Amino acid sequence: GWGYQSERLNAALYLMFYCLFGSLPLLIVIFLFFNIFGTLHYELISWSLLDNNFIYYFMMFGFLVKLPMFFFHSWLPKAHVESPIAGSMILAGVLLKLGGYGLYRSMMIMMKSSLSMNFIFISISLMGMIYLSLVCLRQIDMKILVAYSSVVHMSIMLMSMMTMTVWGFYSGLIMMIGHGLCSSALFVIVNYFYERTHSRNILINKGMFYLLPSLCLWWFIFCSINMSAPISLNLMSEIMAVCCLLSWSKYLMIFLMLGVFFSSIYSIYLFAYSFHGKMSSLLLKIYPNNINNFVVMLLHWIPLNFLILKMDLFM
């Protein structure tokens, strides 16, 4: 399999068991629907008869593991670290967003349960956003840091969708697209570091500005987008998410301020510690950046910044 360390077996087990046990309740609900109605077509199922909390939790559990929500996130850093760059890009850019799409479809058809139980998911996600932002500040492996930042952004997306407002769903959609592009680009750049230094340690990769100045620009751009700096889809989605959450409860203000502040701090930490500081003597013989890397970064950056000029696409 992929990976060069013994931890790849542990990562595979985490991924398999989390996805297996997360999907089992959802599979039970699907069998229940087919047993009652004889079909799985959305238009032919009477959802009002099934709108209760137990079915709602069973449906949500599979998608929350895929997202992943805080408390169900332990598999994600392990899977990212042991996967190749293509696997990390697909996992961050596509597969995690399938959980968000499943949540959207589930909440729309079980509106009563969503409105009565959403405070639980908002509380857990808010706590997880602050806690994992602090965890990011203690990481020295850049790939693990980017993986944890994915959970932080998905926590914000989940909270905005749980407000059950139109702006909340739009915010979740925009954040999934923006984060998918941004995190994919960050994983690509971390892989560029690894190809040249054979290490993802942020302390070994210090002083890269002197060796890879062109890559420094892209690293700064995507770290800025990761902290929702203007102009980017992440900024727009985060503004909409904060507005939705404050309209849902003004008591969330101080916690949202802390979460947004710490999520900005770890993005600054990621950029400053890798490209500034004293350069290691081990980094004197690395090959420079090439045009292929530039094209990959450009294809990530164009939709992230220019789709903000066409926001009606998401409405």
Which residues have a Cβ under 8 Å from the Cβ of 101 and sit 6 or more positions away?
176
Rg (CA), the chain: 20
Using CB atoms within 10 Å of the CB of residue 309, give its burial: 0 to 12 exposed, 13 to 18 middle, 19+ buried.
Answer: exposed
pTM of the model: 0.91
DSSP state of 91: I
Taking only the tens of pLDDT, the chain with its 315 residues reads 455 566 788 888 888 888 888 889 889 888 888 888 888 887 777 666 666 788 888 888 889 998 899 989 989 998 888 888 888 999 988 888 888 998 888 887 777 777 888 899 999 999 999 999 999 999 999 999 999 999 999 999 999 999 989 999 999 999 999 999 999 999 999 998 888 888 888 888 887 777 778 888 899 999 999 998 888 899 999 999 999 999 999 999 999 999 999 999 999 999 988 888 777 666 656 666 677 888 999 999 999 999 888 888 777
CA distance 207 to 127: 34
CA distance 75 to 126: 20
